[in-house]
């Protein structure tokens, strides 16, 4: 079969099999006629993986640890020291992070291109490290909440920068695996946050500081140090990177030219932003991401509480410690699902079937957890709630829900990045998508209310409705993209996004 892209190689010209370019195995969008062999191309991608994905994953993982360490600080003396449990003080300290996170994302991505990845990522990392360090010296909850807001300002640029940088380096069908690796490495790193906090907490009483202060002081100082090293280890965009050889650059640029119409990084001006914002897909993809981030945050914040209150005659009824321990396995399983779906998505060159399957998995999981029936006790006529399914089935439902929600994040981000062209638009969409995720974090942290215990009906049914919406949105846009692709296949004069041979990813 002839390749779908134009080729400069004559059919009659001889080709040495040992020197054949990686055209027989590389993804759609790779350009023929470049001098790299298969093994050389593999080495090129390995260098990019280490320099781009691994380094950004480390920075993202540190930001996650610094974001969630307030939970450990709370139980290691902060509630007594700052009276953080009074009223809604702790909830406020949690929630003020998200407005700062949201408003900083697009401006931060604009600065990323303007000043360069090395300088801007160093500024962001050192900035949120200083915020965390200062939290260790907070005299009251007001200062703590202000520093949490500033933490959101600095951290708001990290995740969208990671997504945009990685999407700038990889063609369509290598992207999902890299974004999943980024998210997976950061998630694995964040699982050690509790152990790290526990160890640091043993310093309680040293120099007159309680353990919670040492958590912020030591982790903040470490982040500042790592932030200073960031300048020397993270990579710039492809057109400015210096760690590739010249033949590797030419090979990579040919791939990116065909896949995205260019290999240079455009600045996101306000004029371009207005143009990009007119595309409905930009907003639909953001809504899709919100649909999956809301259950991600909701389950993350409240799964132990749900496990504690899953009570029936043979029920889970876990204690707080047991509930915390039982909340870990679903997240471990989600790492496996993340890797599996990313491999399948890139290998089979599909996005929508993965998104719909994972949304269905989340939906089914929530149904298993949430279906209840009401019975009246014969003795006192009081209404009690009894689950239809056994505790084991409901716990399996939590597995399904967490696995689906966690793995679907990178699937949706890949779907969005794969179906737009131009670096400035990719920059805008990555920031807007993750900004929508910040709004989803606010919603997710509030839909599971304590007054709705033990069923948590409003929160569970909200998640179910959002998964149904996600499936509908994905189906509608995939159908539209399929129609556009078919028209382009049927007519040689039909070109999508100004790139000959470019097709929407379904």
Residue 447: the pLDDT is: 80
Q: What angle is formed at CA 440 by the lines to CA 434 and CA 445, rounded to 5 degrees?
A: 135
Reply yes or no on whether the pLDDT at 468 is more than 90: yes
Residue 18: the pLDDT is: 37
Phi/psi of residue 20, each to 5°? -60, 140
The pLDDT > 70 percentage for the chain reads: 81
Q: Evaluate whether 323 touches 331 at the Cβ level (below 8 Å).
A: no
Q: Where are the alpha helices (DSSP H) in 261-351?
A: 270-277, 280-308, 320-326, 328-347
Reply yes or no on whether the pLDDT at 479 is more than 90: yes
Burial class from Cβ neighbours inside 10 Å (0-12, 13-18, 19+) for residue 369 reads buried
- Sorting pLDDT into bands at 50, 70 and 90, what band is 123? very high
For the four alpha carbons of 470, 286, 495 and 23, in that order, the dihedral sign comes to negative
SS3 374: strand
Instruction: DSSP for 154-175, please give it.
Output: HHTTHHHHHHHHHHHHS-HHHH
Q: Evaluate whether 448 touches 305 at the Cβ level (below 8 Å).
A: yes
The gap from C-alpha 208 to its chain's centroid, in whole angstroms, comes to 39
Q: Which residue has the tokens 């907070």?
A: 138
Reply yes or no on whether the pLDDT at 140 is more than 80: yes
Higher pLDDT, 18 or 336: 336
Residues 69-122 pLDDT 10s: 887 788 788 888 888 878 778 888 888 898 899 899 989 988 998 899 999 999
Any idea where the domains of the chain sit in the sequence? Answer: 37-265, 272-492
Alpha-carbon separation of residue 6 from 10, 29, 166, 247, 279 (angstroms): 11, 11, 27, 21, 29
Residue 356: the pLDDT is: 97
Query: According to CATH, what is the number of the domain 37-265?
Result: 1.20.1250.20
Higher pLDDT, 256 or 289: 289
Higher pLDDT, 4 or 76: 76
CATH says 272-492 is which class?
mainly alpha
Reply yes or no on whether the pLDDT at 6 is more than 60: no
Residue 25: the pLDDT is: 37
Expressed in angstroms, the distance from the first to the final Cα of the chain is 22
Alpha-carbon separation of residue 232 from 54, 122, 227, 481 (angstroms): 14, 9, 10, 41
Q: What angle is formed at CA 345 by the lines to CA 342 and CA 350, rounded to 5 degrees?
A: 155
* Cis, bond preceding 429 (omega within 30 deg of 0): no
Which of 455, 284, 246 lies closest to 366, judged by CA?
Answer: 455
Q: What is the mean pLDDT of the chain?
A: 82
Residue 217: the pLDDT is: 94
Residue 474: the pLDDT is: 96
Reply yes or no on whether the pLDDT at 431 is more than 50: yes
Q: What is the Cα–Cα distance from 95 to 88, expressed in whole angstroms?
A: 10
Residues 279-326 pLDDT 10s: 999 999 999 999 999 988 878 766 666 666 554 434 444 444 565 567
Residue 324: the pLDDT is: 56
Reply yes or no on whether the pLDDT at 187 is more than 80: no
Which of 488, 460, 300, 480 lies closest to 394, judged by CA?
Answer: 460
Higher pLDDT, 440 or 391: 440
Alpha-carbon separation of residue 456 from 238, 291, 402 (angstroms): 48, 18, 16
Residue 79: the pLDDT is: 80
Q: How many residues does the chain have?
A: 506
For 102, residues 6+ apart whose C-beta sits below 8 A from its C-beta are 152, 156, 435, 438, 439
**DSSP state at residue 310:** -
Q: What is the Cα–Cα distance from 393 to 495, expressed in whole angstroms?
A: 50
Instruction: DSSP for 85-154, please give it.
Output: TSTTHHHHHHHTHHHHHHHHHHHHHHHHHHH-HHHHHHHHHHHHHHHHHHHTT-SSHHHHHHHHHHHHHH
Q: Evaluate whether 351 touches 474 at the Cβ level (below 8 Å).
A: no
For 376, residues 6+ apart whose C-beta sits below 8 A from its C-beta are 382, 383, 384
Which of 65, 23, 269 lies closest to 158, judged by CA?
Answer: 65
**Strand-pair partners of 373:** 386
Residues 316-359 pLDDT 10s: 444 445 655 676 788 888 889 999 999 999 999 999 999 999 99
Q: What is the Cα–Cα distance from 31 to 474, expressed in whole angstroms?
A: 30
The gap from C-alpha 491 to its chain's centroid, in whole angstroms, comes to 38
Reply yes or no on whether the pLDDT at 137 is more than 90: yes
Q: Evaluate whether 401 touches 362 at the Cβ level (below 8 Å).
A: yes
Q: How many CB atoms lie within 10 A of CB 32?
A: 17
Q: What is the Cα–Cα distance from 116 to 230, expressed in whole angstroms?
A: 13
| Structural element, H or E, at residue 383 | strand 383-387
Per CATH, 37-265 and 272-492 having the same topology is answered yes
Top mean-pLDDT range of 7-16, 64-73, 116-125: 116-125
Residue 298: the pLDDT is: 78
Q: What is the Cα–Cα distance from 256 to 30, expressed in whole angstroms?
A: 8
Reply yes or no on whether the pLDDT at 478 is more than 50: yes
Half-sphere exposure (Cβ direction) of 202: Cα atoms closer than 13 Å = 5
Q: Which residue has the tokens 């716990």?
A: 395
Range with the poorest average pLDDT among 26-35, 284-293, 381-390: 26-35
For 5, residues 6+ apart whose C-beta sits below 8 A from its C-beta are 29, 31, 32, 258, 501
The gap from C-alpha 249 to its chain's centroid, in whole angstroms, comes to 28
């Amino acid at each position: 079969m002839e390749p779908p892209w134009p080729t400069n190689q004559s059919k009659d010209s001889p080709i040495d099999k040992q020197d054949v370019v990686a055209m027989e195995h590389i993804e759609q969008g790779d350009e023929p006629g470049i001098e790299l062999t298969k093994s050389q191309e593999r080495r090129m991608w390995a260098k990019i993986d280490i320099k781009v994905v691994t380094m950004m994953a480390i920075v993202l993982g540190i930001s996650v640890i610094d974001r969630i360490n307030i939970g450990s600080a709370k139980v290691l003396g902060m509630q007594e020291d700052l009276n953080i449990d009074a009223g809604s003080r702790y909830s406020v300290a949690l929630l003020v992070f998200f407005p700062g996170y949201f408003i900083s994302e697009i401006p931060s991505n604009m600065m990323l291109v303007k000043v360069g990845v090395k300088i801007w990522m160093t500024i962001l990392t050192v900035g949120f490290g200083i915020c965390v360090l200062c939290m260790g010296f907070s005299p009251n909850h007001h200062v703590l909440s202000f520093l949490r807001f500033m933490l959101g300002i600095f951290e708001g640029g990290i995740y969208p920068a990671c997504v945009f940088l990685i999407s700038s380096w990889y063609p369509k069908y290598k992207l999902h695996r890299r974004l999943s690796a980024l998210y997976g490495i950061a998630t694995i790193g964040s699982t050690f946050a509790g152990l790290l906090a526990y160890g640091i907490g043993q310093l309680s009483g040293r120099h007159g500081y309680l353990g919670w202060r040492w958590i912020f002081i030591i982790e903040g100082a470490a982040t500042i140090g790592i932030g200073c090293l960031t300048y020397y280890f993270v990579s710039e965009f492809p057109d400015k990177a210096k760690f590739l050889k010249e033949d590797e650059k030419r090979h990579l640029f040919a791939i990116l030219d065909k896949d995205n119409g260019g290999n240079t990084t455009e600045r996101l001006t306000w004029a371009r932003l207005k143009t990009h914002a007119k595309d409905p897909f930009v907003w639909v993809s953001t809504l899709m991401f919100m649909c999956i981030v809301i259950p991600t945050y909701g389950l993350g914040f409240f799964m132990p509480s749900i496990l504690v209150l899953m009570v029936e005659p043979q029920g889970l009824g876990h204690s707080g410690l047991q509930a915390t321990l039982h909340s870990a396995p679903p997240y471990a399983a989600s790492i496996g699902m993340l890797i599996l779906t990313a491999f399948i998505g890139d290998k089979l060159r599909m996005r929508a079937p993965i998104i719909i399957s994972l949304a269905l998995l989340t939906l089914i999981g929530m149904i298993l957890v949430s279906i209840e029936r009401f019975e009246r006790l014969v003795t006192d006529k009081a209404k009690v709630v009894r689950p239809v399914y056994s505790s084991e089935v409901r716990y399996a439902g939590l597995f399904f829900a967490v696995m689906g929600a966690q793995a679907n994040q990178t699937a949706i981000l890949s779907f969005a990045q794969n179906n737009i062209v131009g670096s400035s638009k990719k920059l805008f969409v990555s920031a807007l998508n993750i900004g929508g995720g910040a709004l989803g974090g606010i919603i997710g942290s509030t839909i599971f209310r304590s007054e709705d215990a033990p069923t948590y009906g409003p929160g569970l049914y909200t998640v179910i409705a959002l998964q149904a919406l996600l499936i509908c949105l994905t189906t509608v846009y995939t159908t539209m993209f399929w129609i556009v692709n078919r028209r382009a296949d049927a007519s040689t004069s039909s070109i999508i996004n100004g790139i000959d041979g470019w097709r929407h990813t379904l």
